[in-house]
């Protein structure tokens, strides 16, 4: 592959990655607590034998996918009336226990399992400040959850929801639309702001994401046409240089 095609191919790979991220944002527009992802692209300069470009030439810059970062803008909070729906009005994440270990989430659409365990929609138990599941008994009625996470019923205090903050929020790894894996240590949020009977919506803006998708698709098509035109040009040059019948 020649130099021009190699540079264009790097742009195609980056454009495809950007389209995948945008498509994921659009797919999670209705996922509670979902935060949109964004791409960070940089140039990668081709290593030359010398530090300076060859005579008459310029440094060769390829496009590379540097990283994916998550938009931390707060989603809109809407009331549901379900006492086990919880929204975070501020920083932090709830912790749920999965088969792969504890995971973070801002999707506070919770409910009770048959055994009284507070869990998310996938059945993952919600953990308290000590890392244990919160469990209610049949006699626990009129359940209230304070803004600091304290869970109480007519029988008294039942526990306190754990709300944590990762050491580096930008290094959270998504596992599906609702769960995040923290690759850095987490610490408890001292003053969480939990809203009972409400959920935080996705911060994805559908019109903006669809505009980004159309723009990315146009860029992908343009570079694809450029690669095809370069291939046609090279083939035409080869046909002219080679003797007829060779």
* pLDDT of 236 above 60: yes
CA distance 41 to 32: 28
- The verdict on 52 and 87 lying in the same domain is no
Domain span at residue 215 reads 3-73+204-241
- The verdict on 123 and 9 lying in the same domain is no
- The verdict on 95 and 148 lying in the same domain is yes
* pLDDT of 151 above 90: yes
- The verdict on 45 and 100 lying in the same domain is no
pLDDT score, position 18 = 84
pLDDT tens, residue by residue, 202-229: 999 999 999 988 888 888 888 788 778 7
Q: Kindly tell me the burial class for residue 102, based on how many C-beta atoms sit within 10 Å of its own C-beta (0-12, 13-18, 19 or more).
A: middle
CA angle in degrees (0–180, nearest 5) for 75-77-82: 135
Q: Is 246 part of any domain?
A: no
Q: Is 127 part of any domain?
A: yes
- The verdict on 136 and 108 lying in the same domain is yes
């Amino acid at each position: 592959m020649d130099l021009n095609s190699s540079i264009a191919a790097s742009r195609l790979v980056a454009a495809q990655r950007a389209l995948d991220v945008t498509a994921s944002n659009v797919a999670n527009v209705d996922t509670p607590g979902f935060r949109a992802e964004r791409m960070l692209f940089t140039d990668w300069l081709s290593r030359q034998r010398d530090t300076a470009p060859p005579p008459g030439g310029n440094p060769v810059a390829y496009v590379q996918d540097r990283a994916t970062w998550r938009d931390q803008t707060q989603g809109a909070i809407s009331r549901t009336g379900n006492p086990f729906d919880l929204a975070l009005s501020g920083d932090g994440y709830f912790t749920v226990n999965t088969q792969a270990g504890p995971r973070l989430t801002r999707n506070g659409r919770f409910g009770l399992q048959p055994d009284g365990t507070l869990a998310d929609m996938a059945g993952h138990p919600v953990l308290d400040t000590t890392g244990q599941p919160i469990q209610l008994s049949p006699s626990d009625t009129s359940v209230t959850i304070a803004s600091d996470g304290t869970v109480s019923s007519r029988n008294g205090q039942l526990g306190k929801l754990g709300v944590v903050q990762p050491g580096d929020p930008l290094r959270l790894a998504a596992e599906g639309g609702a769960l995040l894996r923290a690759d850095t240590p987490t610490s408890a949020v001292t003053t969480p702001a939990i809203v009972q009977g409400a959920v935080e919506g996705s911060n994805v803006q559908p019109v903006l994401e669809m505009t980004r998708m159309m723009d990315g698709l146009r860029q992908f098509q343009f570079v694809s046409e450029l690669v095809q035109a370069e291939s046609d040009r090279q083939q035409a040059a080869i046909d002219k240089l080679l003797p007829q019948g060779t």
